[in-house]
Amino acid sequence: MKKLVGLAAVLTLASSLSAFAFEPAKTECIAPAAPGGGWDFTCRQVGKTLQDLKLVPGSMQVTNVAGGGGGVAYAEVVSKRDADNELIVAASSATATRLAQGAFPGNTMDQVRWIGSVGADYGIIAVAKDSPVNTLPELMDMIKKDPSAVSVAGGSAVGGWDHLKVLIAANKAGVEDVRQVKYVAFDGGGEAVTQLLAGSVQAFTGDASEAKGFVDSGDIKVIAVLAPERLEGDFASFPTAKEQGIDVIGANWRGFYAPGSMSDDAYAYWVDAIGKVYASDEWKGIMAANGLAPLDLQGDEFQAFVKESIDSITNLSKQIGIVK
């Protein structure tokens, strides 16, 4: 009986792969930050789903390549792994932000191939569980009173998406010069929250998915969700910034890019695989449990979406004074 079950599994995998001229022998996902952040979450959860749905052979290797707000990984893929057909890389609004601001020296979005999205992750602003701050207006009042006394940690580089979110919130809250907001960058949201719990910083700006574990453990207190309305599931009890009188929305899309010289057959395989993950009941459950909102884009549609994201972030960065 066990042999029959094993044979059925092999046949299922073979049939799912045989529709494509490309069949990977092994697969890898690069998370461009330290373990515990949003990119790490994206690689590991999608990798597990790909494995469970038998869309890849065996298990997907996850490699953490931290540094430069994703720039180290981007440069490595472009310069050293440009034709790797078995590799995908986690990306998000943070990736688009760095590209928009020219923060990956010599690198542009057309040096890689954009595969597809797996959802949108709304931003949050949080404090440690024992913090006297309970609302977003309270935190913003502290910043207005003495910007140097409040450090806000995030998992993106200075000028990155986590930084932009808190600057936009500060701008909406009436902080006159948002450039005075003290932002401290770390390699991933997990490391940023660790510094919050250690008391090194007073607040955290990140995304719902990367904060989920710390919310469940009760270590952090979410004081604002940057969504148009309250999220469902485990985040339903947390107020939006909008309902506290600070009308700001910060949605971080999550998806993947691939090496620029990946073959068309391999690219078609990955676009199909990520599309199947998104459509699966298993992924719908993961989205609901981690506060991810719908965003279903693959192939050319996703490529166009990323370009639009980069263009809009470029304009926003100019308005705030991050780029000239």
Q: Which residues pair with 227 in a beta bridge?
A: none
Cβ–Cβ < 8 Å for 86, 28: yes
The domains located in the chain, with CATH, are 2-121+252-320 (3.40.190.150), 122-250 (3.40.190.10)
Alpha carbon distance 185, 237 (integer Å): 28
pLDDT of residue 315: 82
Q: How would you classify the pairing of strands 182-185 and 151-154?
A: parallel
Asked if pLDDT for residue 72 goes beyond 60, the answer is yes
- Average the pLDDT over 57-81 and give the result: 96
Q: Which residue has the tokens 């092999």?
A: 10
Asked if pLDDT for residue 142 goes beyond 80, the answer is yes
Q: What is the CB neighbour count within 10 angstroms for residue 7?
A: 10
Tokens representing 124 are: 């949050």
Angle at the Cα of 108 (from 105 to 111), degrees rounded to 5? 120
Alpha carbon distance 164, 168 (integer Å): 6
Q: What is the CB neighbour count within 10 angstroms for residue 215?
A: 19
Asked if pLDDT for residue 324 goes beyond 90, the answer is no
pLDDT of residue 19: 65
Asked if pLDDT for residue 182 goes beyond 90, the answer is yes
**Would you place residue 9 in the very low, low, confident or very high pLDDT band (cuts 50, 70, 90)?**
very low
**Would you place residue 14 in the very low, low, confident or very high pLDDT band (cuts 50, 70, 90)?**
very low
Q: What is the CB neighbour count within 10 angstroms for residue 108?
A: 11
**Would you place residue 249 in the very low, low, confident or very high pLDDT band (cuts 50, 70, 90)?**
confident
**Would you place residue 4 in the very low, low, confident or very high pLDDT band (cuts 50, 70, 90)?**
very low
186-205 tens-digit pLDDT: 988 889 999 999 999 999 99
**Global confidence as pTM:** 0.76
Asked if pLDDT for residue 10 goes beyond 80, the answer is no
Is 50 or 309 the better-scoring residue by pLDDT? 50
In this structure, of 41-55, 75-89, 141-155, 165-179, the range with the lowest mean pLDDT score is 165-179
- Average the pLDDT over 300-310 and give the result: 94
Asked if pLDDT for residue 114 goes beyond 70, the answer is yes
75-113 tens-digit pLDDT: 999 999 999 999 999 999 989 999 999 999 899 999 999
Asked if pLDDT for residue 177 goes beyond 50, the answer is yes
Alpha carbon distance 104, 102 (integer Å): 6
Alpha carbon distance 298, 292 (integer Å): 17
- Average the pLDDT over 138-160 and give the result: 93
Tokens representing 179 are: 């450039």
